[in-house]
Chain A
């Protein structure tokens, strides 16, 4: 009985162990990309695999800081696309990039409100109006650092009731109607479809986010990885980025 139990336990553990280890084919490019790139990079993956037969692209999306942390802690990946320069710099400083990071996209902030805009928010200063419940990102994440910068240069002080740790947190607070307005990226507004309304504001020019991409040091597929980086910066890549609201250099 005990022997049976033990062998079952061992078998299950071994099966689980085998199942979870990544079995990557010879031509799989592993890309770690900022969550805001999801729609654009999914598009590119399909197109890239079509034009490069035999090559598979595997993309993991998460917050840039989380991904950078994974790379620094030894995650095996071939390409890293970050939502800001500061995060990419950490990976560069750790000596883990193989190519000089290149900016392939820019993203700007937009005010986001309910589709009907009940509080009639039309400009940044409206967010400082009493009675308008505002949610922004925390300063420690890129979207929060950007709004902070804008607040300082425009001298408009927004008083959020919550400092979310990700743009998705801001979006969901506005989508559910808990907050009257939030500040997120244009691309987030677009990916939310009709559930929210985006309002561009001129002060957003003061803090535009650059998205750098680089091939990683320990890649075993440097050719395919470099091809993918080129592809992102090429005609199709730009189209895919434009479609979701990124500006391309």
Chain B
């Protein structure tokens, strides 16, 4: 297919808008000091914590988000429209407010938090688990909404045929729905991971900021920006590099690799 030439102008504007700020970031970086700045113990700790928590959050989104997307797209439940709107909430809420919401639910004085403490002796705020929860909260819609759209576009014909051939509901889900969805799940997971990686507001509100436990890369970048902008820029570049690595390495394979 030949693309209409007119598309290239706005596309170039979009690319400029997306890429030039990163160029700006690069232009402010002292490249000679970069290795030293990004290999500081604080940066390495934050990087490692970011990777671990974002991966866990992405896994959590996969386990509960895929079923939710299927329910939203295929289910016939009352109040489904309301549910769909609720799923969008974390996208609209400022992350700091999302963090407060988590705090009011799972904090020491929230009813969920009291329950956890009384039943299991667990306190979530200021722990790495809180970081994962905050990331899952803000990142989940990216997976669910993408998958739901893909399910609707694909239609339910294959599933209906499988059912008429005698497949039980779970077999249909496992052998038909999931394989059809795989490319969308892949791209959804990349988006989810990227969003979790960049998460800042909900994390700092719900989990606080402590090196090694809750200080992820974005939190470290923000903290450094208060005093030492050069280090902050360096750490931000680390974040950019990590995100690019994940997106370029994983994305083409899962999306373009399968039909």
- The residue in A164, A165, A172 that gathers the most chain B C-beta atoms within 10 A of its C-beta is A165
Report the minimum CB–CB distance from A150 to chain B (whole Å). Answer: 18
Binds A, one of B60-68, B82-90, B102-110, B247-255: B102-110
Q: Is B222 an interface residue (CB 8 A)?
A: yes
Whole-angstrom distance from the CB of A133 to the nearest CB of chain B? 8
> Which residues of the partner chain A approach B180 to less than 8 Å between Cβ atoms?
none
- Select the stretch in A120-128, A155-163, A229-237, A240-248 that faces chain B: A155-163
Contact status B208-A173, CB under 8 Å: yes
Contact (A169, B204) CB under 8 Å given A161-B126, A162-B214: yes
**Is A63 in the interface zone, CB < 8 Å from B?**
yes
CA A69 – CA B226 in complex, angstroms?
9
Q: Which residues of B contact A69 (CB under 8 A)?
A: 225, 229
Task: List B contacts of A135 (CB < 8 A).
Answer: 208
Partner of B227, one of A65, A160, A178: A65
CB pair B225 A65 closer than 8 Å: yes
Per the CB 8 Å criterion, the residue count for chain B at the interface is: 27
- Total residue contacts A-B, CB cutoff 8 A: 67
Q: Is there contact, CB below 8 Å, between B209 and A140?
A: no
CA distance A140 to B215 in the complex (A): 14
List A173-203 residues whose CB lies under 8 Å from chain B: 173, 176-178
Q: Which of B75-129 contact A (CB under 8 A)?
A: 100, 103-104, 107-109, 125-126
The residue of chain A having its C-beta at the shortest distance from the C-beta of B109 within the complex is A177
Q: Whole-angstrom distance between the alpha carbons of A178 and B105 in the complex?
A: 12
User: Which residue of chain A lies nearest to B219 when distances are taken between CB atoms in the complex?
Assistant: A165
**8 Å CB contacts to B: which residues of A24-82?**
63, 65-66, 69
B208 touching A140, Cβ below 8 Å: no
Q: Give chain B nearest CB distance to A90 CB in angstroms.
A: 10
Contact B227 A140 (CB under 8 A): yes
Tell me, in angstroms, the Cα distance from A130 to B246 when the chains sit together: 42
Tell whether A111 is near chain B: CB-to-CB under 8 Å.
no
Q: Is residue B223 contacting chain A, with contact meaning CB distance below 8 A?
A: yes
Residues in chain A near residue B209, CB distance under 8 A: 138, 162-165, 169
A177 CA to B106 CA in the complex, in Å?
Answer: 12
Say how far B101's CB is from chain A's closest CB, in angstroms: 11
Chain B residues, CB < 8 A from A66: 225-226
Give B111-159 interface residues, CB cut-off 8 Å to A: 125-126
Chain A residues, Cβ within 8 Å of B126? 133, 161-162, 178
Residues of A near B219 (CB, < 8 A) are: 165
Bitwise, A122-159 to B at CB < 8 A (1) or not (0) is 00000000000101001011000000000000000000
Q: Chain A contacts of B109 at CB under 8 A?
A: 176-177
The CA-CA distance from A47 to B238 in the complex, in Å, is: 48
Q: Does A116 contact B (CB under 8 A)?
A: no
A161–B208 CB distance below 8 A: yes
- Chain B positions within 8 Å of A161 at CB level: 126, 208, 210
Indicate if B187 sits at the interface (CB-CB under 8 A).
no
- Decide: A160 near B107, CB < 8 A? Known: A65-B225, A140-B228, A165-B223: no
17 contacts between A and B (CB under 8 A): A2-B6, A65-B225, A65-B226, A69-B229, A135-B208, A138-B226, A140-B227, A162-B207, A162-B209, A163-B208, A163-B209, A165-B209, A165-B223, A165-B226, A169-B204, A169-B209, A178-B125
List 10 other contacts, CB 8 Å, given A140-B228, A176-B100, A176-B107.
A2-B6, A135-B208, A140-B224, A141-B227, A161-B126, A162-B209, A164-B204, A164-B208, A177-B108, A178-B125
Give the 8 A-B CB pairs with smallest separation, nearest first: A162-B208, A140-B227, A161-B126, A177-B109, A65-B226, A141-B226, A178-B125, A140-B226
A interface, CB within 8 angstroms of B: 2, 63, 65-66, 69, 133, 135, 138, 140-141, 160-165, 169, 172-173, 176-178
